[in-house]
Amino acid sequence: MTVRTEIADGVALVTLDRPERHNAVDLDTAAELAAAWQAFRFDDTVRAAVVTGAGGRAFCTGIDRSVHVPQPASPYSLDDPMIRIGPKANDLWKPVVAAVDGMACGGAFYLLGESEFIVASENSTFFDPHTTYGMVSAYEAIYMAQRMPLGEVARMSLMGTAERLGAARAYEIGLVSELTAPGAAAEAAVRRAAVLAAQPTEAVQGTVRALWAAKEAARNQALAHAPQLIALGSLPPDRQAELFAARKRDATGTDAARSGRDAQ
């Protein structure tokens, strides 16, 4: 199992458990996440959830680059295993809090984008490497455009690995609602989720649904364009792989950023 689930006092703690891969999502992880959210729909003992990553170095770094996902030839079709990893994609309207320690990048935004709010440690960073490796950032940019000022998400999405958004700046612009000491984000998120779980669940779920309704039409229209934009604008997979293999690494073994705001 690559996803751990613990339930206590009405709160489900969902942990991506691939620290050796910076909690990157492979096909098994994607299926396990979808199954977890779907199970919570029918589990009355779960009234709120927290999603986080194991190891302290990364929340999630998107899809595992070693995963091969065959694609149809038509630019009007796209098979993306990440589409179903979030709670809203699985019709879960119980509140979900994201707890970020370390890196959150690329496909991590599918999870962050479908959480009610984000708690992050002070050493967290957010970035989107897609353009650097010849890929269109469509779903990721759309999800973040629902949570950040447009100029901020445009800078992060367009500049690729050259831009790191630090936790302090993420808090200033409202992407993150609470900062904690390193290693304390999950604990703080569980405390917040416990408050949500203690409220009448029907009222909480109705409020979650109302909040999402505020931007749902624009979000759905934008997401409908994503498959074609990715198919038409991304480099062939072999060229993407060449760019990814040639990336520079820093002392911690992660992609080196050349610039950034408040990068930790």
Answer yes or no: is 195 within a domain. Answer: no
Count of structural domains, the chain: 1
pTM (two decimals): 0.89
pLDDT tens, 226-252?
Answer: 888 888 898 888 899 899 888 876 444
Asked if residue 146 belongs to a domain, the reply is: yes
pLDDT attached to residue 260 = 55
Average pLDDT, the chain: 92
The tens digit of pLDDT for each residue in 161-174 reads 999 999 999 999 99
Per DSSP, the residues of 110-167 read HHHHTSSEEEEETT-EEE--GGGGT----HHHHHHHTTS-HHHHHHHHHHGGG--EEH
190 domain residue, yes or no: no
What is the extent of the structural domain holding 115?
1-182+200-264
Q: Is residue 108 part of a domain?
A: yes
**Is 65 contained in some domain?**
yes
In a domain, 191, yes or no: no
In a domain, 189, yes or no: no
**CATH code of residue 113:** 3.90.226.10
Residue 73 falls within a domain, yes or no?
yes
How far apart, in whole angstroms, are the C-alpha atoms of residue 142 and residue 2?
A: 27
Banded model confidence at residue 101, pLDDT cuts 50, 70, 90: very high
Binned at pLDDT 50, 70 and 90, residue 197 comes out as: very high
For the stretch 51-99, pLDDT in tens is: 999 999 999 999 998 888 877 787 677 778 899 999 999 999 999 999 9
Region 209-214 average pLDDT: 94
- Give the three-class secondary structure for 59: strand
Residue 66 phi/psi, 5-degree rounding, is: -80, -10
Left, alpha or beta for 162 (phi > 0: left; psi -120 to 50: alpha)? alpha
